[in-house]
Structure 1
């Protein structure tokens, strides 16, 4: 299996001699958060987490993207939490980009390394701890689960990207592929967190315009993205936050693959206003 690399921020601060202008932008249809703004000064802390800081990439905003939050967590050795999630309606996905994390869910321990993926259903009893000698960094995507009468909520699982075969997009000769951790036909799930891979020179050859909200974190490589009529250069460590119906397409730049972690909300009716 191919051994992948994953970009992880380390914080710090630029020197006083650096120009202050950067690529960060917040627009009506999308926000672009480049890796250069993920510094110490913009980290946050959470209740009941020890030896931990985080970068908040996305949070529900009225009139923008409203379905999810996404963090990059950084946990020092011996750090972690015995009470990580305080919202009883929240489901989550963890994806490890650097270091080693011990996840205990329903009493079962899992040692997660880069490429490790965990789906954590709402109401789960779980803990995380860094039992290694180096920091661990991972994405934590959270969403309020939308129940459907007659459907059971999905179960927890833990895997690694190395154990999931990518699925090629039809007609692309393998240039565009998606690593899907959840079966798209399993409508118990109301969110997908996948990995999308483009080989050098591959494209999304049309502006996708759809109802799903997106968080796209570039794990590896570089590309040029077309976002709502703007061309935006993207490299590993950058984050794109897209509201519903934001047009989107890309060219992968090479010399290696361009890969990103992708969130989208799926498999539910559109909420309607009051009929009274």
Structure 2
């Protein structure tokens, strides 16, 4: 699998002649934020970042995401931050969908291009810059790390998905596969960020119903996704949030592969008190 593509928003605003009707959906069980929503008017900015704006895809909120936040960052040439993360308890995952960035951790610089992934444990001393001549766009997933006595905090690492062989799902003839950045047996990690790939016509053949909260950003292709009781059409650039236990299934409509960046919370006891 060599011809990967990575959709990234570029902003702009729709013309006054465009109709209002869109595909955005927000329910108690799931939300769909289509790529057409990611215009200039809904961007945000962060303290201590220069030449940078972002689209917020999810945040901890009553009736919405509980365990994570997810941004699409857009950093202009020369932009970046020497104080990117202000929460010492937050772990982070970066995934580049356009251009290139340089992440410096503990004095060592790491260049990330399209498909590049970084895991940054809580308390990391890192900085980030776009040293290229074109805008860089990347996902930044943040989670409050849940430490467990007797388990070490996982170390930082930098990889590219192109160097990782996808793992096929059993009994699917390779039509459904997952690119894993972390060993599922490594219990130090309390979140997984992976890339899921479906070949044209492949399906999730049952309604998955499980405790993991999900964030799904479509990198490539299109599909019809079953979310709770609804079938929803999605395409490259769309984002889906699924709360815990929201039934989900998928049919990859083709003509090309359907791929998405997936977040889920894992490997920890269930909290017995809300809040």
Q: TM-score range by the shorter chain?
A: over 0.9
Where do 1:150-165 residues align within 5 Å?
Answer: 150-165=150-165
- State the SS of the aligned residue for 1:272: coil
- Distance in 1 separating the partners of 2:115 and 2:3: 9
TM-score normalised according to structure 1 size: 0.98
Q: Deviations over 1:177-208 (max 9, x none)?
A: 00000000000000000000000000000000
- State the SS of the aligned residue for 1:204: strand
Q: Deviations over 1:197-247 (max 9, x none)?
A: 000000000000011000000000000000001000000000001110000
Q: Deviations over 1:50-86 (max 9, x none)?
A: 0000000000012432100000000000000000000
- Distance in 1 separating the partners of 2:85 and 2:64: 24
- Distance in 1 separating the partners of 2:81 and 2:182: 26
Q: Deviations over 1:88-118 (max 9, x none)?
A: 0000000000001011111111110000000
- State the SS of the aligned residue for 2:234: strand
- State the SS of the aligned residue for 1:193: strand
CA RMSD across the alignment: 0.9
Aligned to 2:261: 261
Structure 1, unaligned runs of 5 or more: none
> 2:168 matched to 1:168?
yes
Aligned to 2:107: 107
Q: Which runs of 4+ in 1 moved over 6 A?
A: none
TM-score normalised according to structure 2 size: 0.98
- Distance in 1 separating the partners of 2:244 and 2:225: 16
Where do 1:3-18 residues align within 5 Å?
Answer: 3-18=3-18
The answer to whether the Cα contact below 8 Å between 1:220 and 1:260 also exists between their aligned partners in 2 is yes
Q: CA deviation at 1:273?
A: 2.5
- Distance in 1 separating the partners of 2:165 and 2:201: 22
- Distance in 2 separating the partners of 1:210 and 1:66: 15
- Distance in 1 separating the partners of 2:6 and 2:116: 11
- State the SS of the aligned residue for 2:150: coil
- Distance in 1 separating the partners of 2:189 and 2:110: 22
Where do 1:1-276 residues align within 5 Å?
Answer: 2-273=2-273
The answer to whether the Cα contact below 8 Å between 1:65 and 1:244 also exists between their aligned partners in 2 is no
Greater mean deviation of Cα atoms: 57-66 or 250-259: 57-66
- State the SS of the aligned residue for 2:36: helix
- Distance in 2 separating the partners of 1:153 and 1:97: 27
- Distance in 2 separating the partners of 1:273 and 1:122: 24
- State the SS of the aligned residue for 1:206: strand
Number of paired residues?
Answer: 274
- State the SS of the aligned residue for 1:162: helix
- State the SS of the aligned residue for 1:14: coil
